[in-house]
Structure 1
Amino acid sequence: MTAREGNDVTAAALSIAQKDALAAVDARSGDLSDWCATIFEFGETAWREYRSVDWYVARLRSEGFTVEVGSGGMPTAFCADWSNGDGPIIGMYGEYDAVPGNCQAATTRRAPRDGLGFQAGGHTDPHSGLGIGALGGLLATKAAMEKHGIRGGLRFTGEPAEKVRGSKPIHAAQGYYDGLAAILSFHPFYMLPMCNTVRWDTHCGAAYAMIYRFICDAPEGWGRADGAPIPQSHSAVRAPGANDALMIMYQSSKSLREAMLPHQGGWSVSEAILTAGQATADNLPAGLAEIQYMMRTPTVAMAEQITTVLDRNAEAAAMMSGCRWERHWVCKSRPGLANHGVARVVWEAMQAVGAPRWSDAAREVAREIQRELGLAPMINPFIDEMERLVDPEEAEAILRHDLPPSQANSTSDDYTDMCWHAPTARFYIARPALKAPDGFTYPNWVMNALGGIPSTIDPMVVTAAKVLATSALRLLEDQAARDAAMEEFKSRTGGGIGGRAWVAPLCDYPPPIHFRWPEYVETTRGRDWWIPSAMPGA
């Protein structure tokens, strides 16, 4: 059966347990709103989500889950389990990392959260809504299972550092997704046509990220054929040092990237120069410098090819500047794997639940933002697709329109690592987004603010929770649907985990938690971002 052939599904087709789960979401909608605002306000970034993970762990334990803290060797990760007896186990997950440089208050004007500057962390996707929507679906599923005696279990993993594709490759390699009957992956809508729909064939691609570290151990010997020290006191500063190595790496890799990007394949590479502590004296070259690269590619082979080029550049930069170099992995994630069986279950749940709806109060918030930006407020300021369902196969056709026929995967997200361990569905629910007048582009703060204002973000959270709970209960109650998804998983992998077409985890590195990732700090001024908020001219 195609996705379109399931279009007649209505709320009348839901089981009693599914209907009770929908009611459970509605009953806790106030809690979900408060919880979403809490995580949004934390705004913690990759590998440093301390308050966020503490909140989730406490909440899950209070709801009866057994929680492993620090799963996979990651301090801000967790794995929560609950069982209602022997039976299939359904996997869900939450993300809660924010993005540096995107600090935005939940307000209709550009403003950082209280006591912070714009360079602090902020939720962009927003993962605050993603995690709480998933948690709402989890708790509603549990409530229905208890009420109706549905046997089986639930696993909910806390996934830090998604913005650098951090945790899921590590969790996958350590077996946290093995043994699950299905995994449900929700993400807020971020591009058309992926709005209120389910991915069908074209899933996200591979992603590699690494940090190149340059170390200048002996600047005094640079450039001397005999290895003797540079003469004169304070003259070692003539040596290039680690900063020069970093700049050589940056420039050579950037020019190479720009030369390669026009070629077929739909890939990208981005870089970020990481701040490392240095001496403040003016007569010493930098002893340490680091640069991070993040690549998104359709295939693992392409990621490996780009890595080879970057390695050569790093070696050359180190040789030219009298440094040594190291490569440290941040992530290696696999491309995604489709599963029509579980995708169809989620699509039918979406049809039963319907698209989110925004209230007059939410529309007035949107109009206030338009006034703030000097625009004429619109009667309906939200894009039309937010309140519509998009058939998965229609979305697939639109997505494929600009892709080469040979390209099987596009963009990246590390949910893809889950796909190789259990039948996985990736679906999207609309987040608030505004219509733009011709020739106008909204600044980034607008989307970030809409992700934190309760009246604008809550419809997404509640709808996602309902779709998750309805889908999970269908899989728990319907063995035929569950078996069909698993048979398809085995077919696509050539026999399941370890099969002839299965792609093994790529993670062969420890969690990269010890780098100087941006974070909040406690100072005599109170809680602050690592870049002080009270900067001159800020």
Structure 2
Amino acid sequence: MRNSEEIWDLVDSKKAAFEALADRVWGMPEIAYTENRSCQEHTRMLEEEGFRVTSNVAGIPTAVMGEAGEGGPVIAILGEYDALPGLSQEAGVAEYKPIPGTGHGHGCGHNLLGSAALLAATAVKDYLQANGIAGRVRYYGCPAEEGGAAKGFMVRAGAFDDVDIAISWHPAAFSGVRDAKSLANTRIDFTFSGRASHAAASPELGRSALDAVELMNVGANYMREHMPSTARLHYALLDAGGIAPNVVQSKATVRYLVRGKDLTDLNALVKRVRKIAEGAALMTETTVTAKVVSAVSNLVGNEPLERVMHDNFMRLGPPDFDEADKAFAREIRKTMTADDIAAAFRSAGLPVDRDLALCDRIIPFEIKGERMFGSTDVGDVSWVVPTVQAEGATYAIGTPGHSWQLTAQGKMPAAHKGMVHTAKVMAGTAIDALLDETLIPRAKAEHAARLKETPYVSPLPADVDPPIEMSKVA
């Protein structure tokens, strides 16, 4: 890009307001589809910055979109702001110390994710205005990444139909282009119905829904040996049938999360899980119904965009962490295991350096770490729009994802430095796409080639609506 310093200066000029936004969202942790205050904070910032705001995107009350600019290509920058249950933690404390309240916490850094994405979009807006360049930048405030598949529902509703490229990021231990690896997944609630009876006086008259759930789980566990090594299977009891052991449970519900390396593998695995549920119902003389809650696709990479993003990282260099940042990172590291630390280096494709507590490098483009066995609803965006993601160093190397340690670091100076650093990379990538007339066509050509053999089909059944109430169960 010919004007790196200009776009970086635009990011720096407003970073304080967006660091404050990240901290406010950290302080109001809201889980999937309940992010009312967090969405309001992002909406207010969009309005203050002069974006044209669309609320209730795809019929989701906590999804918002802000657009700025006129004509030209449409650049989407994706943000998130949902938290996780059970990860409440006091900020800046290197010991487990939950905050009284809901028990929720930003243990995946989405308070930073949304704020940095909106900061990048704001800088691009200001750059377009200052230089009279045709083009539109959109910030998409996306809820419920943690299990709710909101972006998948937004894709299905056509929210990205006219977007040329999409840019996003995620807080991480290292800085660099995020490898486009993730698992497709689906969440399905299996509800068994039986017949209640007195567990002592007439147990023969009862048909236990809880027995059916337990038998299903046994069957699923036996299946683990006979499924692809890239697949994953998890479950959680949503309704165990009550608290009275002297009553045969007439209803019980278990939620299954099924993951496969792509949609083809996922669909085959889901069929097997459904058969296990039917078998459990047959064995217990109960009935079973299955309801899909959400589903996401695996990620599709885009090398032209990834190389341009890497160039931005290399021009910018690693985050400028100081000795105070490193000292707190070392304190946090004392709560981790040697395996935690080694796993972080392996996931980045780097040799283990147990003395390195905070990132001091950009991950080389050619280095690919171990496969990421998580999932993200960015995957569905990547199937319909050429998409690139960054990883931005915001926490101590070795910090487990979805942990209290990550929540504890979410308001620290190092987190702020990492989110601003990544906002510069995302903004720079967006400006490159607008200034280089060949980049977007090249990105679209590669995207079309990747999808030629396997066109996109949404993993969400047509009759499934956004699960706005899903967190009430949780």
1:443, distance to aligned residue in structure 2 (A): 11
Runs of 4+ in 1 over 6 A off after TM superposition: 371-375
Deviation, 1:111, is 4.2
* In structure 2, distance between residues paired with 1:455 and 1:433: 12
Match of 1:352 in 2: 315
2-structure distance, mates of 1:160, 1:136: 18
In the aligned structure 1, how far is the partner of 2:203 from the partner of 2:35? Answer: 40
Matched, 1:505 2:458: yes
* 1:390 pairs with 2:357: no
Structure 2 matches for 1:383-532, cutoff 5 A? 383=356, 386-393=359-366, 395-396=367-368, 398-399=369-370, 411-434=374-397, 444-450=403-409, 452-494=410-452, 501-508=454-461, 509-515=464-470, 517=472
Structure 2 residue aligned with 1:255: 222
Task: Decide which structure has the larger Cα Rg and report it.
Answer: 1
Number of residue pairs the alignment of both structures matches = 458
CA distance in 2, matches of 1:66, 1:236: 63
Deviation at 1:64, TM superposition (A): 2.0
Please list the CA deviations of residues 69-125 of structure 1 after superposition, one character each: whole Å capped at 9, or x if unmatched.
3322323222x13232111110111111222221111132334453237xx221222
Q: Using a 3 Å threshold, how does the CA distance of structure 1 residues 50 and 243 change in structure 2: closer, same or farther?
A: farther
Checking the alignment, whether the CA contact within 8 Å between 1:237 and 1:283 is kept in structure 2 is no
Deviation per CA, 1:236-295: give whole Å up to 9, x if none: 7962433222222222212322x235x5x422111122247x666665433432211222
Structure 2 equivalent of residue 288 of structure 1: 251
- Separation of aligned partners in 2, 1:316 and 1:35: 50
- The answer (yes or no) to whether the contact 1:239–1:321 under 8 Å persists in 2 is no
CA displacement 1:133-167 (0-9 Å, x = unmatched): 11111111111111112221122222222121511
Corresponding residue for residue 245 of structure 1: 212
TM-score, normalised via structure 1 length: 0.77
Q: Is the 8 A contact 1:206 1:296 kept in 2?
A: yes
1:47–1:20 Cα change, 3 Å: same
| Alignment partner of 2:124 out of 135, 141, 149 | 141
Unpaired runs of at least 5, structure 2 = 339-352
- In the TM superposition, 1:53-452 aligns within 5 A as 53-78=39-64, 80-116=65-101, 120-164=103-147, 166-189=149-172, 195-199=174-178, 203-216=181-194, 218-219=195-196, 235=202, 239-257=206-224, 259-260=225-226, 263=228, 265-275=229-239, 284-369=247-332, 383=356, 386-393=359-366, 395-396=367-368, 398-399=369-370, 411-434=374-397, 444-450=403-409, 452=410
Q: Residue 433 of structure 1 aligns to a residue in which SS?
A: coil
TM-fit CA distance, 1:382 = 7.1
Q: Which amino acid aligns with 1:449?
A: A
Name the amino acid aligned to 1:273.
L
Helix, strand or coil for the counterpart of 2:41? Answer: helix
- Given the alignment, which residue of 22, 31, 37 partners 2:8? 22
Pick closer, same or farther for the CA change 1:274–1:386 going to 2, 3 Å: same
Q: Summarize deviations over 1:214-240 as a string: whole Å, max 9, x none.
A: 233x435xxxxxxxxx9x997479624
Matched residue type, 1:274: L
Instruction: State whether residues 242 and 249 of structure 2, in contact with CA within 8 Å, keep that contact through their aligned partners in structure 1.
Output: yes
SS in 2 for 1:42: coil
C-alpha displacement at 1:455, in angstroms? 1.4
What CA distance in whole angstroms lies between the structure 1 residues aligned with 2:134 and 2:408? 41
Q: Quote the offset at 1:170 in angstroms.
A: 1.1
TM-score by length of 2: 0.87
Identity value in percent: 24
Q: Is the 8 A contact 1:297 1:411 kept in 2?
A: no
CA shift in 2, pair 1:98/1:516, >3 Å: closer
Structure 1 residue 206: Cα displacement: 1.6
Deviation for aligned residue 1:445: 2.7
Q: Deviations over 1:54-81 (max 9, x none)?
A: 2222222222223333322323222x13
**CA–CA separation in structure 2 for the residues paired with 1:303 and 1:323:** 27
Contact 2:68 2:137 in 1 (8 A): yes
Instruction: Give the root-mean-square deviation of aligned CA atoms.
Output: 3.1
In structure 2, distance between residues paired with 1:513 and 1:322: 33
What secondary structure, in the 3-state scheme, does the structure 2 residue paired with 1:387 have? coil
User: In structure 2, how many angstroms separate the alpha carbons of the residues matched to 1:383 and 1:479?
Assistant: 41
Structure 2 counterpart SS, 1:479: coil
- Stretches of structure 1 that go unaligned for 5 or more consecutive residues are 1-12, 221-229, 404-408, 495-499, 520-538
